[in-house]
Structure 1
């Protein structure tokens, strides 16, 4: 894998002239025999396929942060509103050199472009397909938008598709091809060749280093699991005592069926009526259960973008709702604007809206007064789900749970995982009006919360002083970690947030977030690349969980090595892949076929261009 060189760009410009000027007549032939345009200087990415060291073809991807599309030359934003979408990517000038036409090169480039868009959080693809090749693009899952444009002697269909639709089609249509290529394909992109398993992507890749089969549990002491937001501190002493007292009895004994004792303990600790509480085995259990009860495919949901991914997964992939997103970004410090959100709710006719406060993964927080103002402006027909998984780090007095008891369209979800160091126990609760809670409890399976979890949660709630001290200590550790990371790379932007993590946006021109994460894993330090969550991260943002002083020191050391170590043969990235994605113009990615493309036996119809 290499960064862009003049030779790379020169070859691309020469092939573009050869195909689009000399062969197709889209552009006039010029004496320099080179063809390029303004987008080449606006942050486009080229993916390049080679065979035996010889360039075989390329495809260009224009991300939304480039601020301009090739399609802008032909259509207005009114004619094609998708051009205004913050999560749309334009795939263009798919080009295969003549010796490699009739092989798998075009298919592989299209697939690589899809994986790159997925890895940067893209949700929609736009493209111009040559009219005579529309069937090839249709087979890939693209559909005409109804717009046709003419450029020189070439007619193009403007096409579009949801990324999820393309990914599903690719898995079904090209799985056999990808399997046949196997080891013969030298994949050098900074994302895995294949996406992960079905379901919402979460942190916790650190178990790759420990072993999900639990045969190497000693490795837990060697791995720094900063890619998932588990507490750095142990549970309260009383929790450890009760769990150690009689573990054999804990393991073999059925718990109280409805966890009524735990529910009463939460009610007493929080000053809430027990009848307003619904318990679950972690917040994800409650999200799946409540959303599937309240929503249908006809429902409309409003989410902040970016925010905790489970909400979009359940709403779109599990239920199939229409989901709109209110984007936030680095320009506004990843903060949620209450007026914008209230305006969107007022005009959107939504069944459900979700606010994670403090927000994960960005760390921004709306103060209690601002949230009260928002609640007062939520339409009565819209249910507002407030996720307070990290509210303890801001102060327990910031919780809005008491308001949820009074208003039937407000629900507050509280996880005990992160604040109480009980992630392995899986305990959470919803606070709502009593009618809503009663209905949800009818959908709660018996023994939903295990006996060890009930015992641990009760003991934790009985020691508020211990946890208040740990939350205060977390703030200090977070500040020290942020200061140390800034000293390593002053050009990186660090959002200290208010919870138990930091948001680090890497500077342009250096390694991508995926590459830094992969390099840190060489040192058994696991960080979270946020790129697939949202285009707002531009492939350059990492989330780092706060650990104890020793763990934070290892994070800083690994981060320093990741930013200063040459890429070598890029062996540290997923699937042996790596790249530099500086966000600067035209950085090249390469996928080397080394003869594998022809062996794959795919024969697309003359995929010369777009």
Structure 2
């Protein structure tokens, strides 16, 4: 990797903001850009640095050109510089020519991204273009689920790389006449450090730089990214809620059906009293109803305002920065956010693969658990892959786990595969297993927020001790109790969901050309776009402009390769609109490709 200070001793000048952004555009390269990229690469790396021998064509090409992603800077219509990223799905990196990755712990992680080449035209140096290109590359990597990067930094610029947050592995590499150090960095940490150092400048630039990447110029905030852009599109003042009829919210997994009529009647019949009345302090009635319906002792339960409430409370009580955690990858993003960004744990990933149908291999998982983690998180059925591991197989894996390892099983969508697949009773009698169950999605109570966990009495008691008074609102308690009392209503709605899901998958298959459509076991389908077409972010943006909101899964994991969207099941009319909108966005004629 190089940067805008290509010649040792060239001063780095921080120009006025107006100078930096005057006609500046940052975007992904087009086919028309590739010739000048190769010419600039030849000028810098052959003629200027001597890393390669000059050639008669005046252009440098590389065997990874077809796999690299190029981000270009164009100033007043003229090429100013570029940076390249080699994503993990390319299958190889340029560093493979110089080092064995299996000999370097920092390079063994699945999903590693390589920042490979950064070059700025000689007449554009000293304008911060290199720094902006590096920032753009980090934002692109983050938007595609990247957690770590690797790069080769020139030794004479080592102090600058270190100041940016990169760390040297201590491995020296020589290529041609240039000496490099192998560098690595945590993507979120690098972005955070950049924001701390250049935050005011970047906030100014956001208003003026032409930003052509399909990711926000600046991270929205420090919280976990969820779906929900569909509700945000209605405004924040809640005075345009009737507009929800014009929007298809397929970016969140809220139920397409209403709660049981008994819950609706109980809420609407006494809303004036319910709104002004404090709920039972510890939701005792809700706990008793859960215990009765699930056949577990009340002292094995703890309730919360949705599963995220329980995750934050339990994990912050059980874990600290020294804790080791294993996460399924990909899985529900709240888990990575809490253990990495909130608590700061040491995290390993158990990678899933599209080639294997996103299946969790129980033997491989059992082998991974022998590493004696403090906590292991398994979402089953998994969100966002939609694949379920049979309860009997999972019990065998859990039974062989070390006794000191706590095992957190998220069963938010288990109702779609059957009550017999829940391990709640198993957890109540175990020593180290916790089952987290949301009532929000399965019972159409997402706006009210209700969830519970089932655990050995000592673990459940810990969570209750960390619970503030009134953890679940009175409307949520009333609705949840009524929902639990009407299993027949929900069983019928879940069966209808399976029918609607199959219909949606069939329509999308005809509407999406060469894309791959995969049904989940829950209330969504996955649409994976071909390599030679538009990416997930572009499809989501095009559909959003038409009032149909889908979820781009790219930021959750590099395993999705920037090509997969999750689409929630809606009612029949909305599903038809989803399929038609996808076909329009992909320019696929109605009736198929």
Give the TM bin, normalised by the shorter chain: over 0.9
Structure 2 residue 345 is matched with structure 1 residue 330: no
Contact 1:17 1:34 (C-alpha < 8 Å) held by counterparts: yes
Counterpart of 1:316 in structure 2 is 340
Distance in 1 (CA, whole Å) between partners of 2:193 and 2:104 is 24
Map Cα deviations across residues 265-311 of structure 1 (whole Å, 9 max, x no partner).
11111111111111111111111111111111111111100001111
Contact 2:29 2:70 (C-alpha < 8 Å) held by counterparts: no
Counterpart of 1:63 in structure 2 is 87
Structure 2 residue 493 is matched with structure 1 residue 489: no
Counterpart of 1:533 in structure 2 is 556
Map Cα deviations across residues 324-372 of structure 1 (whole Å, 9 max, x no partner).
10000101101111111110001x1111101110000100001121112
Q: Taking CA–CA contacts closer than 8 Å with sequence separation of 6 or more, which of the two structures ends up with the larger relative contact order?
A: 1
Q: Does the residue aligned with 1:55 lie in a helix, a strand or coil?
A: strand
Counterpart of 1:17 in structure 2 is 42
Structure 2: gaps (5+ residues): 1-25
Q: Does the residue aligned with 2:492 lie in a helix, a strand or coil?
A: helix
Map Cα deviations across residues 146-188 of structure 1 (whole Å, 9 max, x no partner).
0111111111121111011101111111222223323321111
Counterpart of 2:435 in structure 1 is 412
1:352-431 correspondence to structure 2 within 5 Å: 352-431=375-454
Name the stretch that deviates more: 178-187 or 466-475.
Answer: 178-187
Distance in 2 (CA, whole Å) between partners of 1:317 and 1:305 is 16
Counterpart of 1:258 in structure 2 is 282
Contact 2:326 2:347 (C-alpha < 8 Å) held by counterparts: yes
Report the alpha carbon displacement of residue 4 of structure 1 after superposing the two structures with TM.
5.5
Distance in 2 (CA, whole Å) between partners of 1:360 and 1:46 is 31
Q: Which runs of 4+ in 1 moved over 3 A?
A: 1-7, 81-84
How many residue pairs get aligned? The number is 564
Counterpart of 2:207 in structure 1 is 183
Structure 2 residue 304 is matched with structure 1 residue 280: yes
Counterpart of 1:507 in structure 2 is 530
Q: 1:152–1:2: structure 2 CA closer, same or farther, 3 Å change rule?
A: closer
Map Cα deviations across residues 241-279 of structure 1 (whole Å, 9 max, x no partner).
000111011011011111111111111111111111111
1:197 to 184, 207, 221: 221
Distance in 1 (CA, whole Å) between partners of 2:122 and 2:93 is 27
Distance in 2 (CA, whole Å) between partners of 1:562 and 1:133 is 45
Q: Does the residue aligned with 1:48 lie in a helix, a strand or coil?
A: strand
Contact 1:304 1:326 (C-alpha < 8 Å) held by counterparts: yes
Q: Does the residue aligned with 2:586 lie in a helix, a strand or coil?
A: helix
Distance in 1 (CA, whole Å) between partners of 2:552 and 2:353 is 16
Report the alpha carbon displacement of residue 2 of structure 1 after superposing the two structures with TM.
8.4
Map Cα deviations across residues 220-246 of structure 1 (whole Å, 9 max, x no partner).
111111111000000001010000111
Contact 1:209 1:524 (C-alpha < 8 Å) held by counterparts: no
Contact 2:500 2:572 (C-alpha < 8 Å) held by counterparts: yes
1:206-605 correspondence to structure 2 within 5 Å: 206-346=230-370, 348-564=371-587
Name the stretch that deviates more: 309-318 or 178-187.
Answer: 178-187
Distance in 2 (CA, whole Å) between partners of 1:431 and 1:461 is 16
What is the TM-score with the length of structure 1 in the denominator?
Answer: 0.91
Distance in 2 (CA, whole Å) between partners of 1:297 and 1:129 is 30
Map Cα deviations across residues 557-576 of structure 1 (whole Å, 9 max, x no partner).
1111111199xxxxxxxxxx
Q: Does the residue aligned with 1:350 lie in a helix, a strand or coil?
A: coil
Q: Does the residue aligned with 1:150 lie in a helix, a strand or coil?
A: strand
Report the alpha carbon displacement of residue 17 of structure 1 after superposing the two structures with TM.
0.9
Contact 2:27 2:211 (C-alpha < 8 Å) held by counterparts: no
Structure 2 residue 59 is matched with structure 1 residue 34: yes
Counterpart of 1:8 in structure 2 is 33
Contact 2:206 2:217 (C-alpha < 8 Å) held by counterparts: no
Contact 2:115 2:151 (C-alpha < 8 Å) held by counterparts: yes
Map Cα deviations across residues 562-592 of structure 1 (whole Å, 9 max, x no partner).
11199xxxxxxxxxxxxxxxxxxxxxxxxxx
